[in-house]
Amino acid sequence: MSVFNASRLAGKTVLLTGASAGIGAATAVLFAKGGSNVILAARRVEALKKVAEACATAHKESGLQQGGKFAIVQLDVSDKSQVASLLDRIPQDLREVDILVNNAGFVLGVDRVGDIADTDVEAMFNTNVFGLISVTQLLVKDFKARNTGHIINIGSVAGREPYPGGSIYCATKHAVRAFSGALLRELVDTKIRVTEIQPGMVETEFSVVRFRGDKEKAEKVYDGIQPLTAEDIAEEIVWAASRPPHVNLAEVFVMPVNQATPTLAFRGGK
Ligand SMILES: NC(=O)c1ccc[n+]([C@@H]2O[C@H](COP(=O)([O-])OP(=O)(O)OC[C@H]3O[C@@H](n4cnc5c(N)ncnc54)[C@H](OP(=O)(O)O)[C@@H]3O)[C@@H](O)[C@H]2O)c1
């Protein structure tokens, strides 16, 4: 008997934003392994195609009969018209979504208040907050109509505790936390589950995006400490999704063992 029973994932359909890299890509593969169908959404279609291939391989290797359908949808969650047409662009047989993972998000820069470009403020809010809200509003209508579904939002330790140089990103993730908490309370009389995953440091393209492509600066973020991997977070997401229907993992706060807060980390060597 396996300790981790993933049989509840078999045949489920997952809509995953930000599926082209990092946590999203790893989560797609793990759901595929568990026998789910996955709708992979992000802006970079070529990268999504590679993730879809990895999903197909993982599903094949699992030997599971259920699931195994992987659709690619180009989606910029910050573009309202793209979100509005999202359901129409999903293949007919995958339109009944069981699990929504709102993962798309990013941080730009480490500028202090007063020096932050308006365009950076808008970009972070448009994706991390308004995009997440738009996609949720779209899907929750159908979840309510069917009285089922699971919304998994990717928050952050930055949504629990702000830090210098992260004011806007922290504000967006605090918004994700507030939105997730309100939604959880609104849906208390339904069978719909709401989970917020709050990771600490995860080594993905996240820091490369933060430092606008400067890989050297990005690598320094993980100096002397073993960060979480995208796969670590994928496991938490899939774990939450595979609990029995009466169990809701409302919050999952997950940190590297040597990181306690956004700014307190022990860098004694990996
Ligand atoms: N890495 C960390 O330390 C960490 C810690 C806590 C929380 N998080 C959160 O985890 C989530 C995933 O980040 P990650 O670490 O996996 O970073 P990543 O490797 O940079 O991946 C980010 C993903 O989001 C997608 N994305 C960005 N903007 C988008 C938009 N407007 N519309 C659709 N997709 C968009 C990207 O795809 P395209 O570029 O193809 O659109 C990419 O697939 C984010 O919400 C992030 O805030 C990360």
Q: Report how far ligand 1's centroid is from the alpha carbon of 104 (Å).
A: 5
Decide if 169 is catalytic.
yes
Instruction: Answer positive or negative: Cα dihedral of 231, 259, 156, 98.
Output: positive
How confident is the model over 180-206, as pLDDT tens digits? 999 999 999 999 999 999 999 999 999
78, two tokens: 């910050």
Instruction: Answer positive or negative: Cα dihedral of 185, 28, 229, 109.
Output: negative
Q: Would you state the pLDDT for residue 6?
A: 78
Decide if 173 is catalytic.
yes
Q: Would you state the pLDDT for residue 2?
A: 61
Residues of the chain with pLDDT under 50: 1
SS3 at position 48: helix
What is the Cβ-side half-sphere exposure of residue 76, based on CA atoms within 13 angstroms?
9
Pocket test for ligand 1, best of 44, 73, 206 (most atoms within 8 A of CB): 206
Q: Which of 80, 163, 173, 220 is catalytic?
A: 173
Class of domain 7-254: alpha beta
Ligand 1 touching residue 82 (CB < 6 A)? no
Ligand 1 touching residue 204 (CB < 6 A)? yes
Q: Would you state the pLDDT for residue 204?
A: 97
